[in-house]
Amino acid sequence: MRNLKMRDKNKSIQVYALVPAFFGLSGDAVNERQFILTFAKISNIKVTVITFISVLDIILPTRAKFIRKEISRAKERNITVIPLPSLSFVILSVFYYPFVSLILSFYLLLKIKIMKIRPIIYARNSRLGLGLVEFPEVAQRCIIKIPEIFEDEVHTSLIIKKLIAIYDRRVVSRAWIVAFPSPLLYVSFIKKRYLKLPRKVIFMSAGVDYEQITRIEKNAKPSEEELKICFLGSLAWWQGVDILVRAVAILKNKFPELRNRIKLEIIGDGPQRALIERLCEVLGVNCELTGYLPHEDALKRLSCCGVLVLPRRRSSTTEAVIPLKVIEAWALGVPVVATRHEVFEFYGLKDMEDLMYCEPTPESVATALAKVMVSRDLHKKLSERGPQIAKLFDYQFISKNLTKIFT
């Protein structure tokens, strides 16, 4: 009876989610899509998603087909998706996103005033949150997620960086709840933005969809002939993919008997693709660069690899956020080699037990890789420990906690 009353109560709540990408192939888009789909299923709350798509998403048949499939999947979970045209240039999105959120805020204000509804509004990043916090009646219903410190990941002008800092301070000072991926990012953000403490803070890390993981594990067939080293993600400078390529070259020279078996698989794409391709050619690294793949296809490839390597360079964001791909690798039982970031130590994760630590240098990455690849016992230990850690980041658990706040 209590559960029935809770479901009836939830039906009276409406959630509006304003996110930059719901259909994208990047980690942030996958994170938001899986979280919102799981949240709608767990909470039985109607969700309206406002998101952005590019012209290519409409023109390219494969992308258009994927988007139609995801819209249909969303409808099954009581989610309405409203796509808007995107602007690919950062400098334009800095003004475009606040404009869109202001229009949505005005619409929600009218619904609150005239129709007497009490919506919950969720937005990812301060650019999309800025317009939503301009009306107090809307702001007091807003949850704004700050997923990163903008300048850590985007190279842009000083003016844009200053403008984003102003957006951040405005949003955090007026929103009902501010969400961060981890306490460490929260502390770094407050220090960098010279802010007083927000009204209420919650923590929402990336997570995994165990239904999807279970499907992939059933068909995973790691190659016995190849020692496949994997990178998954965008080819941006801070990801350290160039470091990984140089590390694999060192590894091949160190173990000449394994030279023909070692293969690097890079799942993803990005601004450094041409650089990485040239580097592999010059250093003689056997590398397959897949480009962007649908999320499930990327995970299928990851499940067949021997190790995931992320030698990311240090910044306020990389030190404070566990990447989605690390959690997914743990869930799939794929050992992880990663830079010793503060966030791993914050969660008490131990070297050579939970993951293999390295420094973001070719020599350190090569040494760590050698240990994982040569020692079967170490590989087995990391493989068996991963799924236990990943259970702490189940989207169902995250969604249930958020539903309690709403209801």
307: CB partners within 8 A, 6+ apart: 229, 230, 334, 335, 336, 337, 369, 372, 373, 379
More confident residue, 88 or 81: 81
Q: Which helix (H) or strand (E) holds 51?
A: strand 46-53
Strands in 177-180's sheet, in edge-to-edge order, are 79-85, 46-53, 14-18, 120-124, 142-145, 177-180, 201-203
Q: Taking the CA atoms of 240, 242, 243 and 249 in sequence, report the sign of the dihedral they define.
A: positive
* Residues 306, 300: Cα–Cα separation, whole Å: 13
User: What mean pLDDT is predicted for residues 69-87?
Assistant: 88
Measured N-to-C along each axis, helices 362-374 and 376-390 cross at an angle, to the nearest 10 degrees, of: 100
pLDDT surpassing 50 at residue 176: yes
Contact 373, 344 (CB under 8 A): no
Q: What is the pTM of this model?
A: 0.86
User: Phi/psi of residue 202, each to 5°?
Assistant: -130, 165
Through-space distance between the first and last CA atoms of the chain, rounded to whole angstroms: 16
Task: Report the share of the chain in percent with pLDDT over 70.
Answer: 94
Convert the pLDDT of each residue in 91-145 to its tens digit: 678 899 999 999 999 999 999 988 877 889 999 999 999 999 999 999 999 999 9
**The architecture CATH gives domain 2-209+394-406:** 3-Layer(aba) Sandwich (3.40)
| pLDDT for 72 beyond 60 | yes
CA–CA distance, 335 with 16 (Å, rounded to integer): 37
Report the C-alpha gap between 25 and 39 in whole angstroms. Answer: 20
The distance of Cα 208 from the centroid of its chain, to the nearest Å, equals 10
pLDDT digits (tens, 9 = 90+) for 234-251: 999 999 999 999 999 999
Structurally, what CATH architecture does the domain formed by 210-393 represent? 3-Layer(aba) Sandwich (3.40)
| pLDDT (tens digit per residue) in 314-346 | 999 999 999 999 999 999 999 999 999 999 999
| Alpha helix ranges (H) inside 44-60 | 55-59
Contact 264, 288 (CB under 8 A): yes
CA dihedral 364, 370, 373, 378 (to 10 degrees): -70
Helical segments of 294-361, H only = 295-303, 324-332, 342-346
CA–chain centroid gap for 128, Å, is 17
Q: What is the mean pLDDT of residues 193-212?
A: 83
Distance of alpha carbon 222 from alpha carbon 303, whole angstroms: 7
Q: Using 50, 70 and 90 to split pLDDT, how confident is the model at 258?
A: confident
Domain limits, CATH 3.40.50.2000, in the chain: 2-209+394-406, 210-393
